[in-house]
Chains A and B, each alone.
Chain A
Amino acid sequence: MSRLGPEKRNIHSVILNKVPAIGGSASGGKSSCLRIAAIASLTIRIAINSRVFSIACASIMAVLIGLPFIIKGDGTPESIFYIFINYSLGLLIAVLSLLAAWCGAAAVSLEIDNRQMQLLSVKPLRAVEIWTGKLLGLMIMNVILLFFTGVLLYAMLQWSLASAKTTGQDLRREIMTVYRPVLPKSSEGAYKPVAIDPGQIHQWSFDLPYAKAAALIKYRFIPSPFAHQSPMPLDWRASTEKNASLLFSNTIASSPHMVISFRLAKTAADCVLKLDCRNMQTNPAVTVFFPSEHDLQAQIPEGNFETNLARALIMILARLCFFASLGMLAGTLFSFPVASFVSLGLLAVSFSGGFVRQLAETGMWFVSPNENLSRPLVFLNDMVRTLFRSIATILPPLDRFDPLAFLPNGTLIPMELVGQALLVLCVLYSLILVLAGAFCLSRREIGLPTP
């Protein structure tokens, strides 16, 4: 049994007065970064050791290799491209989003449930450092998974296009080219729907900033009467304002609702393109209807598929960052099983932003705006609208940052949009969730006895 000696007394006198060597430096940015890095590296190891990482890799391989064998296209390069980009990548985005939210929930809630968070909480760590470290670890894992996805998707796509029987070099090159859409000019500001009666002609004009290569014109239309679904002859003529020589002139039998494209000859720089369309369908008489400005657009070659894929992956990463943060917040508030359900529910709500916004505008879906309602129903409808309006306010604009709105139709993803996705989802929303999660973690009683 030790008893107090002179040496011990001297030490006592300095214990309370000494400068906290470690706690004092904890405020330093560098040491904080080191602690965050330690937590991040541990989170990656947890993901690897819990086999989440290998399961994710296996899922990616299964989707990218297996799905094209299950979904049979017509064997053309367009269908191969569409299957890989629209179905395979679409499914992978869903799988990775689920995984990000679930991993986020597990990263915090399992550590609390298994009491490992107790040991972390008694170390000189701030809740925000624990949270940031965990999110960083998850994001590094997502970066690796997305890189793997991108490489495998590109390799599989190239291999499939090369082995497609009908593939010509030009067609392959066209598919792998990315275009920037140019919408038709409108002198009155807002676009007015265009209807071309039989035998009539309509002219659109486009400001083409430059044309390094031949531009494409893409269109789709609705026939009137709607029942007419057989191909219709449309006579297209393209010329420039300065030079009236025709760039294109042809009659194309076009099916309604389908996206049709034709290639223009190379134009001069900064020209105004005039595009005439004559409706040749006179017997039976069918009117051609272009209701939206997006139904007819010129597309200028602006890059390659690889660049666009990289941009799409960055946008997906920004979405995964948001989902991981969302899962982590659920994991901070609830135990693991509850957190898993809640995070997946939040994921579903985030995905259904369009539906939420519609309900926020119209109220209950079974009530038409002009209907005379009883007072309780009006009250209920207003409540629903208020509720969904508030949800719509806080929901991130995920549909705006959807890479599948660009990739399958070969439209260039603007770099500004990629930047906005990073700024809104990775910085703004994730920062809010990090702060909220860190606050909840610091308020939560980690040491509660296990039931």
Chain B
Amino acid sequence: MKDSIFPSAPIVQAGGLAKTFHDFWRRPMVRAVNGISFEVRPGEVFGFLGPNGSGKSTTLRMMLGLLKPSAGELRVFGSSPHNVASKARTGYLPEESCLYSFLTASETLMFYGSLFNLDRTVLRERVRQLLEMTGLQYAAGRRVGEFSKGMLRRMGIAQALINDPDLIILDEPTSGLDPIGCRQVKDLILTLAGRGKTIIISSHLLADIENVCERVAIMNNGNILVHGRLTELLENTSLCRFSVETESAEQIRAILDFLTRQIGQNAKMDHPRKTLEQFFIETLEQALPASKSPSGVAYAEKIAPFLAGKESPGKDAS
């Protein structure tokens, strides 16, 4: 990508990627992805943004080897998405819960962790940390089938991170989460990005993408309409905003007069506002005790130490 500032080879590289779904008789029905090209570099937080049915999830599933491209080329970690070695370094949160309803929260994480050949002690510690991080430590012994949608989402995130992956693919990560949960997920993404993890997010929630992504691709009808660095895409260079910390009406009037004289047109003044999300979280943080909710979900738990790089248990048992 010409706007990439990263010198190393891309983690995900797609060229002319297309996907057509066929019916039973192999007749083409829907062209979900229409010859798109993009790259995701190491350490990037890359967002796919678009309305429902725009091809975001299909693109992610092709990256994971769950769907086969009809045309074009797709490489993950420099090899085919079906490569077992690249799968070992990938974490995936699907759009909908695909967990086994009869397993408890801790059994679920133990099962998925065991597929990565993690040492049992390391695995148990990671499970504990992930359950704490997702606020599910009080529901560790409960069956996943009894979980609410938000709790399932948290479980999905936890299972996606059990192997401390280098590439994390999150399909609608904040769907079904309450604002605090959304904030925690975003904080988690930023923490992981800070550790050099590559994160690909698909969402139609603009705030999610805006808060965490460095680069985005806006998709519609299987095409990428726009892609690039978010700061560059959103910047309006014809407008300037000045911030001044004062409550004096006289000072404000004097500044406005000065600006109007300098630029030859009326300058505007308004007060900065918090976002509703910020306001909501602040209000709840003041009101909520630091205990679990009736559903068994706890709030405001820290990032799992092994994900924050503060603890480095051996990944491999062998």
Is B truly associated with A?
yes
Q: Which residue numbers of A lie inside 8 Å of B, CB to CB?
A: 1-2, 4-5, 7-13, 15-16, 20-26, 28, 30-31, 34-35, 38, 42, 45-46, 49, 114-116, 118-126, 442, 445-449
- What is the bound-complex CA distance between A2 and B316, given in angstroms? 29
Chain B, residue nearest A24 (CB): B85
Q: What residues on A are CB-neighbors of B41 within 8 Å? A: 12
Please give the number of chain B residues whose Cβ is less than 8 angstroms from any Cβ of chain A in the complex: 57
Nearest-neighbour CB distance to chain B for A39, whole angstroms, equals 8
**Pairwise interchain contact B190-A16, C-beta atoms closer than 8 A:** no
Q: What residues on B are CB-neighbors of A114 within 8 Å? A: 98
B288 within 8 Å of A (CB atoms): no
**Interface residues in B102-118 (C-beta closer than 8 Å to A):** 102-103, 111-112, 114-117
B65 within 8 Å of A (CB atoms): yes
Stretch of B5-13, B238-246, B277-285 lying at the A interface: B5-13
**Pairwise interchain contact B42-A12, C-beta atoms closer than 8 A:** yes
Given contacts A31-B117, A34-B117, 20 further A-B contacts (CB under 8 A): A8-B193, A8-B196, A9-B43, A12-B43, A16-B11, A16-B78, A22-B85, A22-B117, A22-B163, A23-B88, A26-B84, A34-B114, A38-B111, A38-B114, A119-B159, A123-B112, A124-B116, A442-B82, A447-B61, A448-B21
Q: What residues on B are CB-neighbors of A8 within 8 Å? A: 43, 193-196
**Pairwise interchain contact B212-A123, C-beta atoms closer than 8 A:** no
**Pairwise interchain contact A45-B103, C-beta atoms closer than 8 A:** yes
**Pairwise interchain contact A26-B114, C-beta atoms closer than 8 A:** no
From A23, A45, A446, contact of B83 by CB (8 A): A23
B94 within 8 Å of A (CB atoms): yes
0/1 string, B306-318, CB within 8 A of A gives 1: 0000000001111
A-B contacts, 16 of them at CB < 8 A, read A2-B45, A2-B190, A12-B43, A15-B42, A16-B77, A20-B88, A20-B89, A21-B316, A22-B315, A23-B84, A23-B85, A30-B318, A38-B111, A118-B66, A125-B87, A448-B21
Q: What residues on A are CB-neighbors of B174 within 8 Å? A: none
- What is the bound-complex CA distance between A126 and B115, given in angstroms? 11
**Pairwise interchain contact A11-B195, C-beta atoms closer than 8 A:** yes
From B190, B212, B317, contact of A31 by CB (8 A): B317
Nearest-neighbour CB distance to chain A for B146, whole angstroms, equals 13
| Most chain A beta-carbon neighbours within 10 Å: one of B64, B87, B193, B317 | B87
Given A5-B194, A42-B100, A447-B66, the answer on whether A122 and B315 have CB atoms closer than 8 Å is: no
Q: What residues on B are CB-neighbors of A124 within 8 Å? A: 84-85, 87-88, 115-116
Chain B, residue nearest A31 (CB): B117
**Pairwise interchain contact A121-B88, C-beta atoms closer than 8 A:** no
From B67, B86, B96, contact of A20 by CB (8 A): B86
Nearest-neighbour CB distance to chain A for B179, whole angstroms, equals 18
Chain A, residue nearest B163 (CB): A22
- What is the bound-complex CA distance between A119 and B115, given in angstroms? 11
Q: What residues on B are CB-neighbors of A11 within 8 Å? A: 42-43, 195-196
**Pairwise interchain contact A122-B66, C-beta atoms closer than 8 A:** yes
- What is the bound-complex CA distance between A445 and B19, given in angstroms? 12
Dominant SS at the B interface? loop
Q: What residues on B are CB-neighbors of A38 within 8 Å? A: 111, 114-115
Chain B, residue nearest A123 (CB): B115
Chain B, residue nearest A22 (CB): B88
B198 within 8 Å of A (CB atoms): yes
**Pairwise interchain contact A122-B65, C-beta atoms closer than 8 A:** yes
B68 within 8 Å of A (CB atoms): yes
| Most chain B beta-carbon neighbours within 10 Å: one of A2, A20, A24, A122 | A122
B211 within 8 Å of A (CB atoms): yes
Chain A, residue nearest B10 (CB): A16
Q: What residues on B are CB-neighbors of A25 within 8 Å? A: 117, 316-318
B166 within 8 Å of A (CB atoms): yes
- What is the bound-complex CA distance between A8 and B112, given in angstroms? 28
B92 within 8 Å of A (CB atoms): yes
- What is the bound-complex CA distance between A420 and B116, given in angstroms? 37
- What is the bound-complex CA distance between A449 and B92, given in angstroms? 17
Q: What residues on B are CB-neighbors of A10 within 8 Å? A: 196
Q: What residues on A are CB-neighbors of B117 within 8 Å? A: 22, 25-26, 31, 34-35
Nearest-neighbour CB distance to chain A for B224, whole angstroms, equals 20
Q: What residues on B are CB-neighbors of A5 within 8 Å? A: 194
Chain B, residue nearest A17 (CB): B8
**Pairwise interchain contact A35-B114, C-beta atoms closer than 8 A:** yes
- What is the bound-complex CA distance between A7 and B195, given in angstroms? 8
**Pairwise interchain contact A125-B115, C-beta atoms closer than 8 A:** yes
**Pairwise interchain contact B11-A15, C-beta atoms closer than 8 A:** yes
Given A5-B194, A124-B88, the answer on whether A115 and B94 have CB atoms closer than 8 Å is: yes
Chain B, residue nearest A30 (CB): B318
B203 within 8 Å of A (CB atoms): no
**Pairwise interchain contact B115-A23, C-beta atoms closer than 8 A:** no
B252 within 8 Å of A (CB atoms): no
From B11, B82, B94, B116, contact of A118 by CB (8 A): B94
Given A8-B196, A22-B116, the answer on whether A119 and B84 have CB atoms closer than 8 Å is: no
**Pairwise interchain contact B21-A1, C-beta atoms closer than 8 A:** no
Q: What residues on A are CB-neighbors of B43 within 8 Å? A: 4, 8-9, 11-12, 15
Q: What residues on B are CB-neighbors of A115 within 8 Å? A: 94, 96, 98
Q: What residues on A are CB-neighbors of B316 within 8 Å? A: 21-22, 25
Q: What residues on B are CB-neighbors of A15 within 8 Å? A: 8, 11, 42-43, 166, 196, 198
- What is the bound-complex CA distance between A379 and B100, given in angstroms? 54
**Pairwise interchain contact A1-B211, C-beta atoms closer than 8 A:** yes
**Interface residues in B130-174 (C-beta closer than 8 Å to A):** 159, 163, 166
**Interface residues in B43-97 (C-beta closer than 8 Å to A):** 43, 45, 58, 61, 64-68, 77-78, 82-90, 92, 94, 96
B269 within 8 Å of A (CB atoms): no
From A2, A22, A116, contact of B194 by CB (8 A): A2
**Pairwise interchain contact A1-B64, C-beta atoms closer than 8 A:** no
Q: What residues on A are CB-neighbors of B195 within 8 Å? A: 8, 11
- What is the bound-complex CA distance between A353 and B88, given in angstroms? 45
Q: What residues on B are CB-neighbors of A123 within 8 Å? A: 87, 112, 115-116
Nearest-neighbour CB distance to chain B for A52, whole angstroms, equals 13
